[in-house]
Structure formats: structure tokens, C-alpha cells
A and B are shown apart, each in its own frame.
Chain A
Amino acid sequence: MSASHDPQRREALIRGLGEILPPDAVLYEHEDLRPYECDGLSAYRRLPLAVALPSTRAQVAAILRLCHRLAVPVVARGAGTGLSGGALPLTDGLLLSLARLNRILAIDPTARIARVEPGVRNLAVSEAARPYGLYYAPDPSSQIACTIGGNVAENAGGVHCLKYGLTVHNVLRLTVLTVEGEELVFGSEALDAPGYDLLALTIGSEGLLGVVVEASLRLLPLPERQQVVLAAFDEVGRAAAAVGAIIAAGIVPAGLEMMDNLAIRAAEDYVHAGYPVEAAAILLVELDGTNAEVSEQVMQVRELLLACGATEVRTARDEAERELMWKGRKAAFPAVGRISPDYYCMDGTIPRGRLPEVLAGIAALSREYGLPVANVFHAGDGNLHPLILYDANRPGELERTEELGRKILELCVAAGGTVTGEHGVGVEKLDAMCVQFTAPELARFHAVKHAFDPAGLLNPGKAVPSLARCAEFGAMHVHRGQLRHAELPRF
């Protein structure tokens, strides 16, 4: 019997939490639970049994031991900005907020490492490192709010990951609590560690393998100079081709972002970044490095863009203009939120060379479904973020939107890509996972989960679909006409 239908277990949980935490750190009244009912994917909402707000690692360990003893599932939560329902509560589970573990434990300028608790906000790390001329490279657009724990769980990227990598490339060491409350250390402040790369395995595991309670992050020197070049195109395909041309010329920009007309207009209305609102697409190309190097590359990139048919190429005149150009990009999601009652953000990644054809495919699907799609994305990485504009109050529109979303992801997989580049699977892309992976591959994911969490209590039901679900969904690659590993439990 699940705890939600088992008042005794609920009571035991709340009593147990009361012994570990002060009264203000345990929430269980209906109205107190409301703020935790969803993450950034608000189409899915649920109330947990209770919310715990520990502020020390020892409290987190005690909470996990309690939940393990009572067999209550645990969903970790950072800032709740996730876009795939990773932090969506379970009705029979505890929501474990790490937001109060928000101390920066150390900034070591000599070793160039920041040691932080999981609830520290992404941007706070770079702010603390700035006096030493250092910064933390991964910069998701949500960086003023999202936490390092959430970044680790999703392997978050940002506009600068083309050159500086994703979270997995910038975390050196994690302290993780198992579901039994046991403390393990993965990785090292040295440049490698003995045994299996459990650090890489944990990063992007969506809170299913352990709860992160501390992270050592690699800090990089602030570049001497950053410059952004904005190019306008009267055709989306030309902008996409220009992306390939820049990379092919041997230039790896710090960031290479693209926005289409709908996104340009929304962002311009919202933050007045000075974008050319008539353009079919713009590219933002950031170059960084030494003064001389950047000057050289700006010239090169300008020429390449013009040769690719850019109708206008602009270089930020000063730091204020550079920041404004980026502000428009970083505010693009909320900007689209202003022009449509609801939007649904997709996250497929494709080989860069397929950009023109996949963008054309998305436009065709958008027409077919009668739903506008705005594109604003990490073009250099081939990581698309089509935003489907819809109105949840119109009957059937959410369902049509989800179907369109699924079609877009299938298009990405067919182009040799993946259903999620940085937002994670969560609850949202479980069916899409059935398209991307075979049954034996999914079975290995479940086996890995089992190795970390035999009782299946950490964020169960997220990230990896059960084989039964895929069989039902009908898209599973069933090998040789039969489901392999029929002996495995259907998680």
C-alpha cells in the first residue's frame, strides 16, 4: 500500500521528520505544499506527502535513513526550474528541498576550485569567484535561480558550453548520499580518480542515483576580452549554414546562438535589445580570448557571415551593448511567455549539419498542427529549443501540443540526434526514450539504478521508462520479435 493511502506511514514520516528538523523545516499542510507542486514544467502538478527543508548534510542523511526505513520515496529539489518534471513530487513521497544547503564552503584561488553546497545558485559561484579573476563556466539561462545540485542532476549546459563544456566537464568532485544515508565521494580534486567514473555517471542522473550534498567546481580565468557579433539573415536556412561555416573555418566561438523571427520579436518587445525585428533569423556569435586574438577572430567571423548571406553584421560597441545583446537571448523564454498563454519547450539535439533540414521539418509540423513554434537555441551544439505556443485553456490544445512535441523529437532522433540535450527526461520524455533506446539498453539503465538504489526510492518513475510502458507505447524496438529479458521486473 502506498503511503498516501496509508495514514500511519504519513504520520510516522512527519513525526520522524519532526525529530530531525526544526518545525519551520517540515511542511505538510495543504497550502504549504502548494509551492512545491511542480517545477518549470507546470503542465504536471502533484502534491507530496510532505516537504523537508534541511540545512545540514547530517540532517539530509538522517532524512534519507528515515525514508529508507519507512520505504517512502524521495524526490530531491533544488530551485525547481527544471523543464522536464524531474522535481515533480510523488503523491506518496517526500519532497526533499536542498535549497537551504546554500553555503559556498570555499573558494580556492590557487587550485581554482569552488567547494559548494548543492543549494548554491549557479550565478552565485561566479560572483564569489570574480574578485579572483575566475568564474564558473556553465551558464544556463536560468542561472540566477537554478542550483548547482540541479545543474549536476541535469548536466546543465549554457550558452558557453560550445567552448567550455557542460556541467560534466566542470565538476571535479561530488559528495553524494546514498538512499541509505551513506556518504560516498566521486571524483577528486586531482584531475582523475581511481576506479569507475562514477562522477560522470552521477552527473545527468536526475536525482535517481544519490543526493548530492557537496560539489567541487572547476573555476576558469575570466577571459581578457569578450566580444559578440550579431548577424541578421533573411532566411533561416542561411543562418543555419553560417553556423557550419564558422566551425568549418576552425573557429570555436565561446557561444553560438540562434533565434528565429518569432523569438526575435518577443525578446525585442520584452527587453529592447536592439534586435533587427524584420530578420528571419539572427545569430549571436561570442568570441573570447586575448585582446589580439579576439580582434583577429571578429574580422574573420564578420567576413564569413557576410559571405554566407548575412544582411547585417553588427559588433557590440561596448560592454553594455554586449550585455544587452545577451540579455535578449537569455530572456527569450520568459519573453515568449508574454506573447502566449502557455509555451512548451523542447530540447532535442541533432548533428549540426542537419540544422537546415530539421528546422524546415519543424516549420512544416508547426503548420500541420496549427501551433506557432518559436526557435531560440544553442546552434553551435545543434541543441534545439523549439517553443510551442499554445493555450492550455483551449480544450485539446495541450494534447495537440504534446503530440507535436513528440513529433519534433522523433524528427531529431531520425536525424541522428537525441531527445534531450540538457533539460533531462524527467516525466516528460519517457515515451520519447522508448524511441531512442532498445529494450536491452533500457534494461541496463534499470540495472544501474538498482546498483545504486536497490529499493528504488530515489525519484522513482523518472528518467528511464519501464519496459512495460514502452511496450504499451508501441515504439520500442523489439528485437527478434520478442521482448528480451522478460525475466526482469517491469520497473
Chain B
Amino acid sequence: MGQGAVDADLTAQIAERVRAAYAQGTPLAIVGGGSKLWLGRRVEGEPLEIGGHRGVVRYEPSELILSARAGTPLAEIEALLAAHGQCLPFEPPHYAAGATLGGTVACNLSGPARPYRGACRDYVLGVRIVDGQGEVLRFGGEVMKNVAGYDLARLMAGAQGTLGVLLEISLKVLPRPQAELTLALELDAARALAQFNAWAAQPLPITAAAHVGERAYVRLAGAEAAVRAARLKLGGEELADGAAFWRSLRELTHGFFSAAGSLWRLALPPATPVEQGLHQCLDWGGGLRWVLSEAPLWDHAAARGGHATCYRGGRTAVFQPLPPALLALHQRLKRALDPARLLNPGRLYPEL
């Protein structure tokens, strides 16, 4: 399957596979585009390919809602939205060609706009899934507000397929900003961080703020007039190809990431002081710190009220260990939706 270009609804086949696996107790490793296999622990299981289950099911630009099958390539969705002057405001990273919508939502991945526009999970309105017993279930819907039943749709975002195989996802989408530009300012990391936090407390049309090397980068986006006014206020020089810069940061292809060593992603309260002596860059207005470090950073992140993910260089532990009581609750939830522990077992934590 994988990159078949023909839209197809494989709901029945996928559900049947999971039912058979449930009958036989066979663990399944869910594969979309394979672009994020490394972003999790190794899963021992029969591959369950989702790539063929693809196609945009409904898209009403005036409703600001798009529903698509999980195997639909992210690039295809973004192109369709762009053709209608709209976008996924959380600008998800792809990490490789062939990234699917399902994998994006399963990993809850969001790009530089995250602090200003919201995360992937914030835009999830509804899902259709196959749970661990092969049952096809629908949670949430195609409306902006919905509090009927627990929010199991949003729960799927970031669960990495361990609570259900995503079949279809409905997302809120937004108009693309009319105008957009990126400013570069000569600032050290500590001063940049202070600026980012100060700016975020003011009504400015900022949609991204990062610090790499010795420069701070700020993206302004919105109505023409608002961007123009803010540009004067912030100063700095305009980057010729701002979009390319943000893409390189989002996709981890910027020069910073080419240095050898383990790559750590730290999500910290955005005002956390910049640690001296770390090889790092800042995204998310300071809320995200990419650090190259051979020493594990679990305790470092936890002590600062955040958490770490080992993005590169760790296959046994990728995600921040959970406190025992919270882990126990995770295990009970896993049992509620995947009682035989067949869906991506161990991908998040060995116990799940």
C-alpha cells in the first residue's frame, strides 16, 4: 500500500485485521507514511499499514472544517487548503516525504506557530477509530463545539496509536494570514527570551519566535496593516526567505541540528531562564528548547516544570518517565480501549 495515489476507504479491512489480531492475540505496529517510526520506542508487532486508507472525505472552506482519512498525505491536505486560501494553523512538521495526517495527529506534532496559534490537538474536532477489539467508533464530530461524552477525540492526539487506530480525523482549519514576514534581530539567547515573553504579553501579530546561533527570529502574520505596524515597532531586519527558515527549524534540517550527538526536545514553561553552557536553540517563544546533549535531560526538564523527549539517540526511553500514580492511570486507560494491549504496544512506554 503506502503511497498508492488512489483514494480508498479501507475501514472494513482495517477493522477486520484488528478483529483477527484480537482473536489471535497478535500485537500490531501501526504504520502510516513511516516518517516518524523513530519518534517512539520500537514496537514488536505485525505491521498494520494505513497508507492505502486515504482521501479527503469532506472539505467545506466556509465551514472551516476538513475531514480526511488517516492515510492521506499531509502534503496533499496542505496543498488543497492552500488552493482555498486556508491552512493548518499548527503547521505540523512532516519529518519526511509521505507523512500522513494520521501520524501527525497520533504524534500531536505542531510547528513554530504552536504558542500563538495552538497545538495539533487544539484543532482536532472529531475522529473515527478502530479500538483494540476491532470496533469502529466515532468520537467528537464536524462541529466547532461539542461536549457530548468525554473528549476521546482529543485524547487520540499524542496517544501514538496506543488507544486506537485512527481512521478519519476532522480538523478545524483557518484562513491563511494575508501578510507574513520574518524579522531577524541580533540578540543573545537570554535577551531574546526576555523579549519573546514581553512581546507575547502585548497585542502583537506574532506567530513564531525562535533563537538560533546569535540571532532571534520573529514572524509577524495577519492583516496587512497589523503586520506593517508591528514591523516598525519591533525593528530588526527583514529576512529574504523567512518561510525557508521556519521550515528548516520545523523539519529539523537547519544547520543547528546537523551537529552529532543525541538530540533532546525540552518543553519548558516559556519564561524558564536560558541555561548557560548547553548547546541549544529556542523555538516556541522559548517554550521549546532543542538541546544536543549526551547526558540524559529527564531530571533537568522535570526540575524546571517541563519534560524532555529524546528525539535522536535513544530507543529504550524516548518520553519523559511518568510518576507512578499517573502511569497506573495510563495503564487503566489503555486497558479501557485496548484491553489485550495489541495496538502499538510499548511505543510510548514499556508498560502501555
Instruction: Identify the A interface with B (CB < 8 A).
Output: 108-113, 132-134, 154-155, 157, 161-162, 165-166, 168-169, 182, 184-185, 188-198, 200-201, 203-205, 209, 221-224, 244, 247-248, 250-252, 289-293, 295-297, 349-353, 378, 381-383, 416-425, 429, 433, 436-438, 440-442, 444-445, 447-452, 463-464, 484
- Chain B neighbourhood of A464, CB < 8 A: 149-150
Q: Do A166 and B145 have beta carbons less than 8 Å apart?
A: yes
* Nearest CB in chain A to that of B332: its residue: A451
Known contacts A182-B325, A201-B151, A418-B146: A221-B307 contact under CB 8 Å: no
A221–B202 CB distance below 8 A: yes
Q: Identify which of residues 220-264 in chain B touch chain A, using a CB-to-CB cut-off of 8 Å.
A: 222-226, 228-230
Does residue B187 face the partner (Cβ distance < 8 Å to A)?
no
Query: Does B336 count as interface, using CB distance less than 8 angstroms?
Result: yes
Which B residues, 169 to 210, have Cβ-Cβ distances below 8 Å to chain A?
174-176, 178, 197, 200-205
Is B79 on the interface with A (CB-CB < 8 A)?
no
Q: Are A292 and B229 in contact (CB under 8 A)?
A: yes
CA distance A351 to B65 in the complex (A): 9
> Is B326 part of the binding interface, using a Cβ–Cβ cutoff of 8 Å?
yes
Report A215 CB to chain B, min CB distance, Å.
Answer: 15
Q: A190-B307, A193-B307, A437-B149 are in contact. Are A221 and B201 (CB under 8 A)?
A: yes
Chain B residue at minimal CB-CB distance from A454: B332
Nearest-neighbor residue (CB-CB) of A381 within chain B: B144
Q: Which residues of B contact A (CB under 8 A)?
A: 60-65, 85, 108, 114-115, 118-119, 121-122, 131, 135, 137-139, 141-152, 154-155, 157-159, 163, 174-176, 178, 197, 200-205, 222-226, 228-230, 267-271, 284, 287-288, 305-307, 309, 319-320, 322, 325-327, 329-330, 332-333, 335-337, 348-349
Please report the C-alpha to C-alpha distance between residue A291 and residue B223 in the assembled complex, in whole angstroms: 11
User: Judging by beta carbons under 8 Å apart, are A184 and B325 in contact?
Assistant: yes
Contact of B147 among A134, A252, A421, A442 (CB under 8 A): A421
Q: Whole-angstrom distance from the CB of A440 to the nearest CB of chain B? A: 5
| Neighbour of B226 across the interface among A134, A290, A433, A440, CB < 8 A | A290
Known: A201-B154, A353-B60, A423-B147. 14 other contacts (CB 8 A): A165-B118, A188-B305, A196-B330, A197-B159, A201-B155, A247-B62, A296-B224, A383-B144, A417-B141, A420-B147, A425-B149, A440-B135, A442-B149, A444-B337
- Chain A positions within 8 Å of B175 at CB level: 250-252
**Across the interface, do B223 and A451 meet the contact criterion of CB distance under 8 Å?**
no
B201 close to A109 (CB less than 8 A): yes
* Residue of A whose beta carbon sits closest to that of B198: A110
Among candidates A190, A197, A451, A463, residue contacting B335 with C-beta atoms closer than 8 Å: A451
Which listed residue, A162, A191, A244, touches B287 by the CB 8 Å rule? A191
Determine the chain B residues whose CB is within 8 A of the CB of A422 once the complex forms: 145, 147
Once the chains bind, are A419 and B268 in contact (CB under 8 Å)?
Answer: no
Contact A204 B147 (CB under 8 A): yes
- Contact (Cβ within 8 A) A111 B271: yes
Q: Within 8 Å CB of B205, what residues of A?
A: 289-290, 293
Q: How far apart are the CA atoms of A111 and B270 in the complex, in Å?
A: 6
Q: How far is the CA of A191 from the CA of B201 in the complex (A)?
A: 16
Chain A: CB-nearest residue to B301: A190
Task: Point out the residue from B60, B224, B268, B336 that lies within 8 Å of A450, measured CB to CB.
Answer: B336
Contacts of B176 in A (CB 8 A): 250
| Among A189, A196, A381, A442, contact of B333 (Cβ-Cβ < 8 Å) | A196
Partner of B326, one of A133, A184, A247, A419: A184
Q: Is A154 touching B147 in the complex (CB atoms < 8 A)? A: yes
- The distance in angstroms between the C-alpha atoms of A383 and B144, with both chains bound, is 8
CA–CA, A200 to B152, complex, Å?
8
Nearest Cβ on chain A to B115's Cβ, whole angstroms = 6
Assess the B330–A195 pair: CB atoms within 8 A: yes
Specify the chain B residue showing the minimal Cβ separation from A182.
B325
CB<8 Å pairs between A and B, sample of 28: A111-B270, A168-B122, A168-B151, A168-B154, A169-B122, A184-B329, A189-B305, A190-B268, A190-B287, A192-B119, A194-B319, A196-B159, A197-B155, A200-B157, A247-B63, A247-B64, A250-B85, A250-B176, A289-B203, A290-B223, A351-B60, A381-B145, A382-B143, A416-B142, A433-B148, A440-B137, A451-B335, A484-B135
- Which residues from A are CB-within-8-Å of B336? 444, 447-448, 450-451
Q: Complex Cα distance A205/B115, Å?
A: 25
7 tightest Cβ-Cβ pairs between the two chains A and B: A292-B225, A447-B336, A421-B145, A250-B175, A451-B332, A200-B154, A190-B306
Take A134-B201, A191-B288, A425-B148 as given contacts and tell me if A111 and B269 are in contact as well, using a CB distance cutoff of 8 Å.
yes
Contacts of A192 in B (CB 8 A): 108, 119, 158, 267, 307
**A222 x B150 contact (CB < 8 A):** no
Q: Which of B108, B142, B229 touches A290 (beta carbons < 8 Å)?
A: B229
Closest residue of chain A to B228 (Cβ to Cβ) is A292
B329 touches A204 (CB 8 A): no
With contacts A109-B201, A110-B197 known, is A195 near B306, CB below 8 A?
no
Kindly report which residue of chain A lies nearest to residue B284, judged by CB atoms.
A191
Asked whether A188 lies within 8 Å of B307 as measured between CB atoms, the reply is yes
B305, A133: Cβ atoms under 8 Å? no
